[in-house]
């Protein structure tokens, strides 16, 4: 499940999906090429003078020099070593040292992956040419730019440990006790002025139920609400969208999606979007979101999206604040808390030592789907979640208070 190299079963299946590669605003026309490591491959991304994005093997097809060092000239990258010039499609445009009569450039091509841009992201397909899956028109894709925001961070562990965090709703009452709190007088999650979240339940023993779907599965965490617990239930419905997308409930008027994109077996790039359905996200809301989640540029994150808080410094855990009752975890940022516990398991956790419980139902469901999906793919079936068209724009997580006799499957807009 965890191994995503090109020669591994999961790696082969993973290359049949559209994957987030880099944020669009990281690439300027004719600007600096950027290194991208994706599915264990070292790549280079850049935007040519006409605005087209290329995603190539980082190494020049001539002698292997890094194209991250290359000059961006008009509609190509010119390798510093011998001046070979390559376009976004991998075509070799010029080989200056080679005699013209050899027409060497017509016989060599760089590895180039298909890309498209949507919702502020460069998406790439790394599978067999001409077998591109349908594009991912998630509901945030068609929102105006000012109604969505992206956060990005490198996680120093396997991608599966990241997506398992989205599917583990039981940990919220403990790990995130400083930020996500039980409350009365609310029917669903709401923000306070500091960006903390109030939820209508103090039940720490949720009942989990799951349902397989064409895109993966959806699951419900069912709790007793703080008001009318004998006749009502507080339900949160979260979606797992193959291969690594988690769509989970957000406060009223907002949406959430996280993508845990494998850098290699031991590292992951989290692409996290929050979006607002009916109004622009204000600058204050953006800054509050960065702060609460631990994504403040230059404070929580370095320029290459690495965390200031990491395993080497124990994620700057503040034990004094814990002793003083000022912080439950001692770690700043909701997402930093998640990444700390996930990274603490090791680059790839030893699952043979786990003792899974009833509240791990969704984690177990994801693992089984992925393992079975890879086996089926290896035997010639379509990749998990791609056997039939998926209306991605209708995939929405939901939450709310329901009558005790109402089924959670009928809630909200999450499709079956």
**Beta-strand relationship, 180-182 and 197-199:** parallel
CATH of domain 145-410: 3.90.380.10
The pTM for the full model equals 0.95
For residues 65-92, give the mean pLDDT: 95
Contact yes or no for 238/411 (Cβ under 8 A) = no
Arithmetic mean of pLDDT over the chain:
95
- pLDDT at residue 415 in the model: 55
- pLDDT at residue 416 in the model: 47
pLDDT (tens digit, 9 = 90+) per residue, 333-389?
Answer: 999 999 999 999 999 999 999 999 999 999 999 999 999 999 999 999 999 999 999
- pLDDT at residue 25 in the model: 96
d(CA 396, CA 414): 5
Percent of the residues in the chain that have a pLDDT greater than 70, as a whole number: 99
Cβ-based neighbour number of residue 306 at 10 Å? 12
d(CA 134, CA 387): 11
**Beta-strand relationship, 216-223 and 207-212:** antiparallel
**Beta-strand relationship, 245-247 and 76-78:** unpaired
d(CA 125, CA 114): 5
Q: Looking at the structure, give the CATH architecture of the domain made up of residues 18-125.
A: 3-layer Sandwich (2.102)
Cβ contacts of residue 5 below 8 Å, gap of 6+? Answer: 11, 39, 40, 264, 265
Residue 414 confidence (pLDDT) above 70: no
CA distances from 54 to 88, 156, 304 (A): 4, 27, 20
369 phi, psi to nearest 5 deg: -60, -45
Residue 296 confidence (pLDDT) above 70: yes
Q: What is the residue extent of each domain of the chain?
A: 18-125, 145-410
Q: What is the DSSP string of 333-356?
A: SHHHHHHHHHHHT-SS--GGG---
| Kind and range of the H or E run holding 121 | strand 121-125
CA distances from 266 to 43, 259, 314 (A): 17, 16, 18
Confidence of residue 195 (pLDDT cuts 50, 70, 90): confident
The distance from CA 340 to its chain's CA centroid, rounded to whole angstroms, is: 17
CA distances from 142 to 38, 101, 178, 270 (A): 26, 50, 34, 21
User: Among 116-120, 194-198, 386-390, which is the least confidently predicted range?
Assistant: 194-198
CA distances from 150 to 249, 304, 356 (A): 17, 15, 33
Residue 202, burial from CB neighbour count under 10 angstroms (0-12, 13-18, 19+): middle
Contact yes or no for 287/298 (Cβ under 8 A) = no
Length of the chain: 416
Contact yes or no for 121/137 (Cβ under 8 A) = no
């Amino acid at each position: 499940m965890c191994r995503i190299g090109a020669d591994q079963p999961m790696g082969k299946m993973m290359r049949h999906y559209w994957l987030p590669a880099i944020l669009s605003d990281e690439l300027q026309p004719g600007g600096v090429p950027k290194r991208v490591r994706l599915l264990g491959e070292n790549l280079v991304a850049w935007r040519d003078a006409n605005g087209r994005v290329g995603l190539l093997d980082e190494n020049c097809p001539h002698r292997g020099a890094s194209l991250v060092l290359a000059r961006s000239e008009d509609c190509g990258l010119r390798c510093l070593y011998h001046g070979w010039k390559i376009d976004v499609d991998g075509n070799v445009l010029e080989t200056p040292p080679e005699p013209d009569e050899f027409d060497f450039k017509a016989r060599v091509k760089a590895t180039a992956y298909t890309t498209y841009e949507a919702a502020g992201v460069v998406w790439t397909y790394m599978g067999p040419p001409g077998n591109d899956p349908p594009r991912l028109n998630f509901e945030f894709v068609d929102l105006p730019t000012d109604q969505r925001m992206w956060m990005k961070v490198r996680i120093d562990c396997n991608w599966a440990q990241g997506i398992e965090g989205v599917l583990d709703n039981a940990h919220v009452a403990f790990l995130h006790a400083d930020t996500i709190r039980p409350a009365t007088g609310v029917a669903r999650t709401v923000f306070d002025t500091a960006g903390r979240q109030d939820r209508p339940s103090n039940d720490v023993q949720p009942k989990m139920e799951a349902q397989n779907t064409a895109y993966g599965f959806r699951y419900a965490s069912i709790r007793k609400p703080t008001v009318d617990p004998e006749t009502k239930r507080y339900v949160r419905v979260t979606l797992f969208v193959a291969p690594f997308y988690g769509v989970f409930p957000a406060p009223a008027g907002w949406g959430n999606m996280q993508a845990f994109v494998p850098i290699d077996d031991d590292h992951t790039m989290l692409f996290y979007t929050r979006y607002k359905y009916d109004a622009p996200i204000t600058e204050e809301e953006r800054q509050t979101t960065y702060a609460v989640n631990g994504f403040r540029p230059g404070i929580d994150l370095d320029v290459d999206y690495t965390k200031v808080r990491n395993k080497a410094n124990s994620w700057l855990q503040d034990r004094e604040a814990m002793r003083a009752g000022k912080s439950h975890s001692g770690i700043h940022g909701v997402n930093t808390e998640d990444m700390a516990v996930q990274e603490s398991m090791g680059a790839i956790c030893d699952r043979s030592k786990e003792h899974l419980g009833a509240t791990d139902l969704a984690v177990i469901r994801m693992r089984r789907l992925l393992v079975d999906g890879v086996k089926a793919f290896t035997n010639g079936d379509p990749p998990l979640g791609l056997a039939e068209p998926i209306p991605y724009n209708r995939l929405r997580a939901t939450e709310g208070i329901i009558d005790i006799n109402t089924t959670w499957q009928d809630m909200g807009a999450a499709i079956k």
